């Protein structure tokens, strides 16, 4: 059984339009399966599949030219390159095909944007479509089953997340999450020459997981893991570019007492968040349910933005007097403001200072009873 991905139609519409399709996403998120589903929807094309994890493929493609590529591709009309970030000169390779072998459509996947984007951005300017594939979204899971069924699994999603293997084989969720965080998640980071302290990286990931929902102070974090600020910043950047975490900056529009340079860091998946802290206890036994809830809602909203191609800017807001707003989503001229509370009985309101300075903003409090409206609309 395969769960349908919402971005399939976006990808299909961008094939055979004279540009390559680049699909980013963390390892084990289902990029290969996504492309297989995509190819099932395309009739009459001969497909050549290559994998950048194969050493002979990397060697063969490391110095590409038109003659070599034509001989490799043959009469195939679609070239699928999995884990393309592993191939040297991948940007030049794809550029040659787009410019010189125009009949061939290239689809390339990459589990690390720091390698793949660095190699393709300049050669492929104006020659590529890009999309980011993340773990299953609430919308996709509801679409596969129904709203009532998925709501019943909320506590499970808060703890174990929504990676495909977890959703498809929930009985082995704990085992697979450990395998994911031990073997796969940081694989591309560890292959970089400039990352020579894997234990430090894991300490940083754990420290970030333990302070989800709180502002990140690099000085304090560096002291905690016993590293310098520059190294910590570098590793955080690499974690972002391998799609483990993402940053939420502070909203600042020159309102008095607004903090201007703050940031929070969230995980794309709750299962990863809980596994790196070695806490897969059920929701009922958690003292950090507020942070889990906040990470889940914000990461799900971010997935929705990517899936629906919504060009939103996301922020949190705080003043020096500790007035705070959990999540702000700005799309064009529209601003939506949210407070997150796990319990429907918890009282919450948007701070008066914020309301006075941003009177046009739409406001809502999201809790465990009404959250599905936030994630579906």
Domain layout of the chain by residue ranges: 8-132, 138-376
For residue 315, give the 3-state DSSP assignment: strand
Question: Are 38 and 133 contacting, i.e. CB atoms less than 8 angstroms apart?
Answer: no
Instruction: Copy the structure tokens of residue 117.
Output: 């984007």
Q: Which of 18-22, 41-45, 102-106, 294-298 has the lowest mean pLDDT?
A: 41-45
The CATH number of the domain covering residues in 8-132: 3.40.50.300
CA 187 to mean position of chain CA atoms: 16
Distance CA 282, CA 297 (A): 18
- pTM recorded for the entire structure: 0.94
Question: Are 244 and 161 contacting, i.e. CB atoms less than 8 angstroms apart?
Answer: no
Mean pLDDT of 326-335: 96
**For residue 192, what pLDDT is reported?**
65
Question: Are 28 and 180 contacting, i.e. CB atoms less than 8 angstroms apart?
Answer: yes
- Per residue in 216-250, pLDDT (tens digit) is 999 999 999 999 999 999 999 989 988 999 999 99
**For residue 160, what pLDDT is reported?**
99
Q: Which of 155-159, 200-204, 288-292, 325-329 has the lowest mean pLDDT?
A: 200-204
**For residue 185, what pLDDT is reported?**
83
- Per residue in 271-326, pLDDT (tens digit) is 999 999 999 999 999 999 999 999 999 999 999 999 999 999 999 999 999 999 99
**For residue 348, what pLDDT is reported?**
84
Q: What percent of the chain has pLDDT over 70?
A: 97
Mean residue pLDDT of the chain comes to 93
- Whether the pLDDT of residue 138 is over 90: the answer is yes
């Amino acid at each position: 059984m395969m769960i349908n991905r919402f971005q399939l139609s976006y990808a299909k519409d961008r094939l055979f339009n004279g540009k390559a399709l680049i699909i980013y996403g963390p390892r084990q998120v289902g990029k290969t399966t996504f492309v297989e589903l995509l190819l099932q929807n395309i009739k009459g094309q001969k497909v050549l599949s290559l994998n950048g994890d194969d050493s002979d493929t990397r060697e063969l493609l490391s110095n590409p030219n038109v003659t070599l590529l034509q001989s490799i591709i043959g009469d195939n009309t679609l070239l699928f390159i999995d884990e393309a970030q592993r191939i040297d000169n991948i940007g030049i390779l794809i550029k040659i095909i787009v410019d010189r072998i125009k009949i061939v459509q290239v689809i390339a996947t990459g589990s690390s944007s720091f390698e793949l984007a660095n190699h393709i951005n300049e050669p492929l300017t104006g020659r590529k479509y890009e999309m980011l594939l993340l773990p299953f979204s609430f919308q996709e899971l509801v679409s596969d089953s129904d709203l009532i069924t998925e709501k019943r699994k909320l506590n499970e999603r808060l703890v174990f997340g929504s990676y495909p293997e977890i959703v498809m084989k929930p009985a082995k969720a704990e085992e697979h999450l450990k395998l994911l965080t031990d073997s796969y998640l940081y694989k591309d980071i560890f292959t970089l020459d400039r990352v020579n302290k894997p234990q430090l990286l894991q300490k940083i990931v754990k420290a970030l997981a333990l302070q989800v929902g709180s502002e990140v102070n690099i000085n304090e974090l560096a002291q905690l893991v016993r590293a310098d600020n520059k190294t910590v910043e570098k590793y955080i950047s690499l974690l972002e570019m391998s799609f483990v975490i993402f940053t939420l900056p502070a909203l600042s529009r020159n309102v008095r007492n607004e903090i201007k340079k703050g940031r929070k860091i969230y995980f794309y998946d709750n299962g990863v968040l809980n596994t790196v802290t070695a806490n897969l206890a059920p929701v009922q036994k958690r003292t950090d349910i507020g942070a889990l809830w906040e990470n889940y809602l914000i990461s799900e909203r971010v997935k929705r933005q990517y899936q629906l191609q919504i060009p939103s800017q996301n922020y949190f807001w705080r003043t020096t007097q500790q007035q705070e707003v959990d999540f702000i989503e700005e799309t064009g001229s529209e601003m939506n403001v949210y407070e997150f509370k796990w319990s429907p009985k918890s009282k919450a309101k948007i701070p008066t200072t914020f309301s006075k300075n941003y009177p046009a903003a739409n406001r809502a409090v999201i809790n465990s009873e009404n959250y599905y409206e936030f994630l579906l609309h």
